[in-house]
Structure 1
Amino acid sequence: MSSSEHKNVTEDVVDYLKQKIMDGTWKPGDKISSENELTACLSVSRASVRYAIQHLIAVGVLESFQGKGTFVKTKPISDIEQKLKTLYNNTSVEQLVEFRIIIEGESCRLAAQRMTEDALNRMKIHLVNMMNSISDREAFINEDIAFHKEILKTTGNDLIVRSMEYIMGQIESQHHAFNTEDKFSTAVEWHRKILLELEKGNGREAARCMKKHLLDSAKV
């Protein structure tokens, strides 16, 4: 599926979720259907469902609680339409990569200074999981994104984390559009280098590796 086709499918999912909220099927505070239920109901990929949900979470329409599910935020329904207008823009791959280089590059510098043993261990687990799931596209992408999120969280800066959450769906879409199995091995090596530099406390080199990784990941 091309990136434009994936976006169109995801827009359909967003429209479906929006309609459920607007017609009162899901009221503020209600739990929405699970990813598996929505995938089966709409006959779309789980990635498209997750992309749509992540975007709705990012703009404040939905909220997710680990182990509990995803819920409609308890705010006036009139806010939803305005927030949904920000979901789909024409951000190019180049703009997305530039944004990520700025944010994630500097995040590497901060993370290197503020790294904890627990965070390092979580990143190592994500890296191992990436290595073990090279032949499983969706599992690999999930672990890849989790690795990057861990770096962001380690900065301790909530604004950085939230700014990246807003575009996380676009990042996942880029992964699906550009990444192929033969590129996963290269991605693993870049993540290994980034992790090594973070473990050494070398934020400058970690940022350099992150920049090269992001540029490489956007190549067709």
Structure 2
Amino acid sequence: MAGYGSNNKYSFLGGMRAAAQSISYEIPLALCVLSISLLSDSLSLVDIVQTQSNYGFLGWNSRRQPIGFIAFFISPLAECERLPFDLPEAEEELVAGYQTEYSGIKFGLFYVGSYPNLLVSSLFVTVLYLGGWDLSIPFLPEPEQILSDWNFNSRFFDIFNTIIGIITTLAKSYSFLFVSIAARRTLPRVRIDQSLDLGWKFLLPIALGNLLLTASFQLLLLK
């Protein structure tokens, strides 16, 4: 809409590239989420985290679903238009995609909006594949069990668990942010045909095969 509304053919082409890239990586992203839902037997994020918390980091979905984790790890980078997939924006170029005709606060909103998008993506990676807010140290007693020996009241349990959960979630999320920033500084930008080929010809078959394998194993377990 921004590229079309700017009445510039180059901005319009940048908007088309952004739409094509977004569609290419939305489908593998959704298939990976469906695989996690089948593995956890629930669509609730709380249930997904609880199923990963039995054996600490040994029970993370990234270990149980390594193929889906790789596909889900690449897709948010393309969805957030980060390098090497920043083809729709390409801030270093003279014609910067759909935001070429914008300046001032409008350009600032485009630029700043990508970072909350990246943060939300890192939170989803953390919750779905990295154990979420669970401390993820195997064979460590639960905080409630430790604090119950010290005769603290239940109100203190809730506050302590909330603080530990927030710190754990942010630490895991920042690890994804660190990798995305490191990729921005090290990897070259790919062409638009290479980006679309990666989404349609590589990630989509992998994510679909991972979903079918997960469903097959779940059916075998039910039998």
TM-score class, shorter: under 0.3
Please tell me whether Structure 1 or Structure 2 has the larger radius of gyration of its CA atoms.
Answer: 2
Q: Give the number of the structure with larger relative contact order, counting CA–CA contacts within 8 Å between residues 6 or more apart.
A: 2
**TM-score with structure 2 setting the length:** 0.25
